[in-house]
Amino acid sequence: MDGKKPKKKRRFLRLFLTFILLVVLLLLFGERLGLGTGDYLSLLSPSPVSGPVVKPVAEPVAETPQDTTQEIKITISETAIQVDGETFTRDTFAAFLLEADENTLFVLSDQQANYALFKEVEEMLEAKNLSYVIEE
> Is 119 found in the same domain as 77?
yes
- Between CA 103 and CA 90 the distance in angstroms is 22
Residues 29 and 81 in one domain: no
Between CA 81 and CA 100 the distance in angstroms is 15
In-domain check, residue 65: no
Our count of domains for the chain comes to 2
pTM: 0.47
Which parts of the chain are beta strand (E)? Answer: 70-76, 81-83, 86-88, 104-109, 131-135
Tell me, what's the pLDDT at 43?
Answer: 59
Q: Taking residues 56-70, what's their average pLDDT? A: 59
Q: Is 78 helix (H, G, I), strand (E, B) or coil?
A: coil
What is the band of 49 on the pLDDT scale with cuts at 50, 70, 90?
low
Contact of 74 with 82, CB cutoff 8 Å:
yes
pLDDT band at 29; cut points 50, 70, 90? confident
Q: Which domain holds residue 93?
A: 70-135
- Residues 36 and 81 reside in one and the same domain: no
